[in-house]
Amino acid sequence: MGLYAALYLWLFFLYSFHSAPIVDGVGCNWGVKASNPLPPDIVVRLLRDNGINKVKLFEAEPLVLRALGRSGIEVMLGVPNEFLAPLASSVSIAEQWVMQNVSAFISKYGVDISYVAVGNEPFLKTYKSMYKQTTLPALQNVQAALIKAGLGKQVKVTIPLNADVYQSPNGLPSAGDFRSDIKDLMLRIVRFLQDNGGPITINIYPFLSLYADPHFPIDYAFFGGTSSPVVDGSISYTNVFEANYDTLIWALEKNGFGNMPVIVGEIGWPTDGDPHANVEYARRFNQGLLNRIAQHQGTPKRPMTPPDIYIFALIDEDRKSIEPGNFERHWGLFYYDGTVKYPLVLDNGQNLTQAKGVKYLDRQWCVLAPEISIGDPRIADSVNYACTYADCTSLGYGSSCNGLDVRSNISYAFNQFYQEADQQKGACNFSNLSVITQTDPSQQNCRFEIMIDTGKHEEAVTSASARSSWRPLLLGSACCCRGAWVLFVKLITRRQMKTIFMNFGSRLLLLFLPFMPRPLCAPLY
Ligand SMILES: *[C@@H]1O[C@H](CO)[C@@H](O)[C@H](O)[C@H]1NC(C)=O
Ligand SMILES: *[C@@H]1O[C@H](CO)[C@@H](O)[C@H](O)[C@H]1NC(C)=O
Ligand SMILES: *[C@@H]1O[C@H](CO)[C@@H](O)[C@H](O)[C@H]1NC(C)=O
Ligand SMILES: *[C@@H]1O[C@H](CO)[C@@H](O)[C@H](O)[C@H]1NC(C)=O
Ligand SMILES: *[C@@H]1O[C@H](CO)[C@@H](O)[C@H](O)[C@H]1NC(C)=O
């Protein structure tokens, strides 16, 4: 072996050792469709405390991205499906998107954006063919924009796809191929991804297999083995995850893409909203999954190269659409407030730990007033109203609060509304049927929640005297800092302004105090 060859090999090994930690670790999907989302800085700390070193976001939320800046957490940034048509229509729209939502966060805030995920399950059968025409052109335009922005190497494109883009006529992985109505399109997409070094991203949900088919063998949904494995040639599949994943690998291989890198973009198990969505099953599934990740376990078709995996999801989201089912709002490893649902040992060997520094609203609940009889004709409308605007999914069949008696059931609905409305004055008033109590009405598995304080509450219930104490500050900043304010207001958009105020409220004004000329402002204090 020549010196150069030896050196080359040595460098090669160095490189592969060096690059190993990058693919290590576990990822999580971080969605923000919540009435009272946890503040982004608390979530980033939660991620770091738990050694979760990758996140997948569904859109470019500025405060979320900023909080991820210089955190050491790698980001897959999603583009919502509504953006596919505009992005497909012109490269310059894609360039603006990349400039505002990728380049700016990388250069200004040091966000480690490694992937842009264009669209979200765009070929889901339920979308009919709505995004069929726009997905590939949008992908191409975003790729071109990334190259133009000088990010072609650093940021890769991908498309998170639902597992129904491929199928197997006989149920065996080896017969896997892409769905016939989108096969040509899928092959063009995969070729484009391969040409640009992007992976294919696939969402796999054993829970949904169980949910959709009452005869689905339960053990096969988990990772602990099954008495009746699926035998495919020389391979015995003992869990649906491996069988499903390998169906894709076969489909890729058959079409000449045997080496295509694959990411599992979503996988997880919900804890409420369905008889199979419970803490015991979720723990069993997610612990099995995390053990695989910790052991770098691949699948029979790809034993040596396990996929990067993003668990769905980090935190519960009480504003998600429940069209797929009531379980949709309960996928989190953590509850809405970052508390732990069940013990879980992560790939770093530590137990899951809860969020720190969470601020709650006051310890009070809204319940059905004791003097109201359950026969009161106004109740039905009030409960209906509460559950239209707030999350009552835990009351449904097979859910954590399904066992409540009628009174508590009504109270649960009232309280959800009251909490999601930030305990605002008047939010616990259902035709005078309800009262506020300081006694926790929670029972067994059913939690009567207290929402996170996101600052909206203070504005709503501030008494007249407390409010007037802020007036000099407002006046002060208006009189002394006009220049600063005008600049500030010009620099940020209205939407950003709203978000900033929602998150920091009037505390923001304090920021301007140091800039005020003392003599001018003194009389105002
Ligand atoms: C950046 O992303 C956000 C959120 O997805 C979107 O509202 C905004 O329009 C995007 N910016 C551009 C220039 O497209
Ligand atoms: C994790 O939590 C479980 C149950 O709460 C406990 O038995 C176990 O000792 C903990 N493990 C570690 C590593 O802290
Ligand atoms: C409680 O409320 C939910 C939703 O409003 C309903 O589906 C359920 O049947 C109720 N249960 C009882 C015991 O009233
Ligand atoms: C409830 O709202 C009504 C008007 O919508 C008001 O007259 C009443 O005083 C309120 N009751 C309470 C307890 O706040
Ligand atoms: C609620 O009670 C208040 C007085 O406590 C009364 O003025 C009001 O009319 C009541 N509202 C309804 C909708 O019953």
Helix 135-148 to helix 91-98 angle (10° resolution) is 60
185 and 264 assigned to the same domain: yes
Q: Which residues line ligand 3 (CB under 6 A)?
A: 383, 387, 392, 395-396, 406, 409
Distance of CA 156 from the midpoint of ligand 3 (Å): 47
Q: Which of 371, 429, 431 to mutate to test the pocket of ligand 4 (most atoms within 8 A of CB)?
A: 429
pLDDT of residue 32: 97
What pTM was computed for the model? 0.84
Cβ(97) to ligand 1 under 6 A? Answer: yes
- Per the domain annotation, does 68 fall within a domain? no
Question: Encoding tokens for residue 175?
Answer: 């017969």
Nearest residue to 176 via CA among 244, 277, 104: 244
Phi then psi dihedrals of residue 8, to 5 deg = -60, -45
182 and 242 assigned to the same domain: yes
- Per the domain annotation, does 359 fall within a domain? no
Q: What is d(CA 412, CA 127) in angstroms, rounded to the nearest whole number?
A: 34
Q: What is d(CA 69, CA 108) in angstroms, rounded to the nearest whole number?
A: 9
* Residue 268 neighbours by CB under 8 Å, 6+ apart: 29, 205, 207, 282, 285, 286, 311, 312, 313, 331, 333
520 and 423 assigned to the same domain: no
pLDDT of residue 456: 80
171 and 300 assigned to the same domain: yes
Roughly how many angstroms between the first and final C-alpha of the chain, as a whole number? 81
173 and 298 assigned to the same domain: yes
377 and 511 assigned to the same domain: no
- Per the domain annotation, does 45 fall within a domain? yes
Question: Encoding tokens for residue 488?
Answer: 């500030």
Cβ(59) to ligand 1 under 6 A? Answer: yes
Domain final residue pick, 329, 356, 386:
329
- Per the domain annotation, does 67 fall within a domain? no
Please report, for the chain, how many H helices and E strands are present, in that order: 20, 15
Nearest CA to ligand 1 atom 11: 97
C-beta of residue 269 within 8 angstroms of C-beta of residue 207: yes
306 and 239 assigned to the same domain: yes
Centroid of chain to Cα 107? 24
Cβ(340) to ligand 2 under 6 A? Answer: no
Atom of ligand 3 nearest to the CA of 405: 13
pLDDT of residue 2: 46
Q: What is d(CA 180, CA 123) in angstroms, rounded to the nearest whole number?
A: 12
- Per the domain annotation, does 34 fall within a domain? yes
281 and 258 assigned to the same domain: yes
- Active-site positions? 121, 266
Residue type, position 362, single letter:
D
453 and 519 assigned to the same domain: no
* Residue 396 neighbours by CB under 8 Å, 6+ apart: 273, 326, 402
Distance of CA 7 from the midpoint of ligand 2 (Å): 46
Q: What is d(CA 436, CA 369) in angstroms, rounded to the nearest whole number?
A: 8
CATH of the domain at 224: 3.20.20.80
Please tell me the number of the ligand nearest to residue 116's CA: 1
Nearest CA to ligand 2 atom 7: 343
Phi-psi region of 286 (alpha: psi -120 to 50; beta: other; left: phi over 0): alpha
> Radius of gyration (Cα) for the chain, nearest Å?
26
187 and 313 assigned to the same domain: yes
Residue type, position 246, single letter:
D
- Per the domain annotation, does 227 fall within a domain? yes
- Per the domain annotation, does 337 fall within a domain? no
Domain final residue pick, 414, 429, 458:
458
Domain count, the chain: 3
Cβ(432) to ligand 5 under 6 A? Answer: yes
Cβ(24) to ligand 1 under 6 A? Answer: no
Helix 135-148 to helix 183-195 angle (10° resolution) is 10
Determine whether 253 is exposed, middle or buried from the number of CB atoms within 10 Å of its CB (0-12, 13-18, 19+): middle
* Three-class secondary structure of residue 2 per DSSP: coil
Q: What is d(CA 52, CA 286) in angstroms, rounded to the nearest whole number?
A: 14
Per-position pLDDT tens, the chain of length 525: 444 444 343 434 433 333 333 347 899 999 999 999 999 999 999 999 999 999 999 999 999 999 999 999 999 999 999 999 999 999 999 999 999 999 999 999 999 999 999 999 999 999 999 999 999 999 999 999 999 999 999 999 999 999 999 999 999 999 999 999 999 999 999 999 999 999 999 999 999 999 999 899 999 999 999 999 999 999 999 999 999 999 999 999 999 999 999 999 999 999 999 999 999 999 999 999 999 999 999 999 999 999 999 999 999 999 999 999 999 999 999 999 999 999 999 978 899 999 999 999 999 999 999 999 999 999 999 999 999 999 999 999 999 999 999 999 999 999 999 999 999 989 999 999 999 999 999 998 999 999 999 988 655 444 333 333 333 333 333 333 333 333 333 333 334 444 444 444 333 333 333 333 333 333 322
Task: Give me the domain span that covers residue 29.
Answer: 18-57+159-329
183 and 45 assigned to the same domain: yes
Cβ(424) to ligand 4 under 6 A? Answer: no
Nearest residue to 163 via CA among 212, 210, 216, 209: 209
244 and 290 assigned to the same domain: yes
- Per the domain annotation, does 200 fall within a domain? yes
CATH of the domain at 393: 1.20.58.1040
